[in-house]
Structure 1
């Protein structure tokens, strides 16, 4: 069955349909929100709140035309609500140290590279960061991103192009800083 059909069942009071949606989308939604927030506990809270909103909408009879972009829109807006809170930036401090042994050296190298990329992405504004995460980490199409963020497809294309250019500049700057520090 399609996701929209499960939402239709939920609107008819069949709660087991919601369980299937949670099972299907918990992991990808968690990954998306975690990349935006970089905080595991906060991510879990946001994901739960997103699913709660989906459940409540289903109980009200809301059945989106396309479930996946609608779900990401709810998650993105829930993150934006968090960022609007005055204390949220102060609470946004996390421990990013990675420790390991010689046995897992290649894994740590990969994790450090990935961490470097995520940290670089996090330097972008939320508008650029969100479209890049949805496109490259969640593999959404431009039309799905447009629906999820309530913007035009041209805006999606522009933000992706500009975001990639800004990211490239950040990565080049970071690489130069690293070379100067080692040289």
Structure 2
């Protein structure tokens, strides 16, 4: 194979990982259009730096790491801060939301998770939704496993506070 990946191989990688990376990016930044932009940028980076992927980890982990870094960069950017400021100024409440949907437990839990700070949100998502072990999360985020355990405990306690009105079976045993 020459310097660039074959087009067919690259298309297969995109087809296989796009949905996963979109969900991952959305869970970090809570904006579909920005998540789509980030995932496009991830694939562009992967295409340009294909030779650097030394298969020390799985391709999924490698792409997830690139996505996480790009999401964190986005959250630090002026574009994001300007958008949050604009949304808070022009749309101060969620009055337009359907009342029945708000009562749905799954949506309520998802909203609570999305309201967590990024460092707690990411460990909850990886541990419960992606079903990664503490060690796998530690390797993915490049932080000690005890830090992951601490963040999981703190995230659970924050979720308990947010969801204390309802009896959540998941949180009763924690």
Normalising TM by the smaller chain, what interval? Answer: 0.7 to 0.9
Paired position in structure 2 for 1:65:
56
Whether 1:44 and 2:36 are equivalent positions in the alignment is yes
Within 5 A, what are the aligned runs for 1:34-183? 34-58=26-50, 60-66=51-57, 67-92=59-84, 93=87, 97-99=96-98, 108=101, 112-172=104-164, 175=165
Q: Distance between the aligned counterparts of 1:132 and 1:167, measured in 2? A: 10
Cα distance, 1:10–1:153 mapped onto 2, change above 3 Å? farther
Paired position in structure 2 for 1:179:
none
Q: Distance between the aligned counterparts of 2:138 and 2:4, measured in 1? A: 29
Cα distance, 1:147–1:52 mapped onto 2, change above 3 Å? farther
Deviation at 1:166, TM superposition (A): 1.7
Contact 2:114 2:121 in 1 (8 A): yes
What are the Cα deviations for residues 38-94 of structure 1, in whole angstroms up to 9, with x where unaligned? Answer: 211111111111222222221x34223222222221111111101111341331439
Deviation at 1:11, TM superposition (A): 6.7
Contact 1:11 1:63 in 2 (8 A): no
Cα distance, 1:119–1:14 mapped onto 2, change above 3 Å? same
Deviation at 1:133, TM superposition (A): 1.4
Contact 2:29 2:75 in 1 (8 A): no
Aligned length: 158
Paired position in structure 2 for 1:15:
7
Unpaired segments of 5 or more residues in structure 1?
A: 1-8, 177-183
Structure having greater relative contact order (Cα 8 Å, sep ≥ 6): 1
Deviation at 1:14, TM superposition (A): 2.6
Unpaired segments of 5 or more residues in structure 2?
A: 167-174
Alignment RMSD: 2.8
Cα distance, 1:56–1:35 mapped onto 2, change above 3 Å? same
